[in-house]
Amino acid sequence: MSGAERKVAVVTGASSGIGAATARALAAVGYLVIVGARRVNRLEALAREIGGSARPLDVTDAASVVAFCGAVPEQLHVLVNNAGGAHGLGPVAQANDQDWAWMYEANVLGLMRVTKGLLPRLEAGRGHIVNITSIAGREVYPGGAGYTAAKHAAVAVTRTLRLELSGKPIRVTDVAPGMVETEFSVVRFKGDTERAATVYQGLTPLTAEDIADCVVWAVTRPAHVNIDEIVVKPVAQASATVVARGAGL
Ligand code: 8X3
């Protein structure tokens, strides 16, 4: 793809981890990538590296989403809703309202706002929406209710969207990762890097690039093919709660 034929992709939460890897991978297969996130310094370096453009985006802020969407070209080919994350890991009995509200804002309302804002452009571009959900959208685990509830909601929104867009030329894919070593756990544990490292001890976790690979594969299928869902976990992870550590996997 080059010149006027160059397709356009938007990736949210692109300043690190899965978002940044996905932006790089889409650029590598020819997309002009618009990256959005709160941390604009990191974004600008990434945009320079991949020949794309960087825009400030806080999906928890409706005005920020409106401004971001207004800067996207009239025809959009791929939207990767990656922004989101977990705050805290603890029982419902000790749930923190602020953490739960942030998780719902970032993982559910944020996804809705960006999708709603870009739908006309996606329709004009016969586009593809890829929502990065999680195995936490399919399973639950002790201490995870705030995050698993939000990710179950994100999966429900994704499935609903596919029904509502029936008859329109827009594909909808859910990519649901298990254990991926990124800043995810550092953010969940509010900067406690030692605790975050224990999550991935004794196994080979997925990398952000593994997930980017799934996104690129889904969006590069022929136009009549819709990949509904990809659930991807490390070999050492059988489920959200069954993980083989120290098995050499
Ligand atoms: C991250 C996967 O299992 O930590 O989305 O919830 S998990």
Active site residue 147: yes
Pocket of ligand 1 (CB under 6 A): 134-136, 144, 147, 178, 184, 240
Q: If you ran DSSP here, which 8-state letter would residue 224 be given?
A: T
Q: If you ran DSSP here, which 8-state letter would residue 237 be given?
A: B
pLDDT at 4: 56
Domain ranges, ordered by start, for the chain: 3-232
Tell me the torsion sign for CA atoms 174, 211, 101, 105: negative
Tokens of 205: 């976790």
Which one of the listed residues 31, 104, 141, 147 is annotated catalytic?
A: 147
pLDDT at 1: 47
Edge-to-edge order in the sheet of strand 53-56: 53-56, 32-37, 8-12, 78-81, 128-132, 171-177, 229-232
Q: H helices within the chain, ranges in order?
A: 17-28, 40-50, 62-70, 97-104, 110-124, 145-164, 184-188, 193-199, 208-219
Looking at the CA of residue 133, tell me the nearest atom of ligand 1: 5
Kindly report the protein residue whose alpha carbon is nearest to atom 4 of ligand 1.
179
> Is 3-232 a domain of CATH 3.40.50.720?
yes
pTM surpassing 0.95?
Answer: yes
Per DSSP, what are the bridge partners of residue 232? 177
Interval between CA 75 and ligand 1 midpoint (Å): 33
Interval between CA 179 and ligand 1 midpoint (Å): 6
pLDDT, averaged per 10 consecutive residues of the chain (249 residues), comes to: 75 98 98 96 96 98 98 98 98 98 98 98 98 98 98 98 98 98 96 95 98 98 98 98 96
Task: Report how many helices (DSSP H) and strands (DSSP E) the chain contains, helices first.
Answer: 9, 7
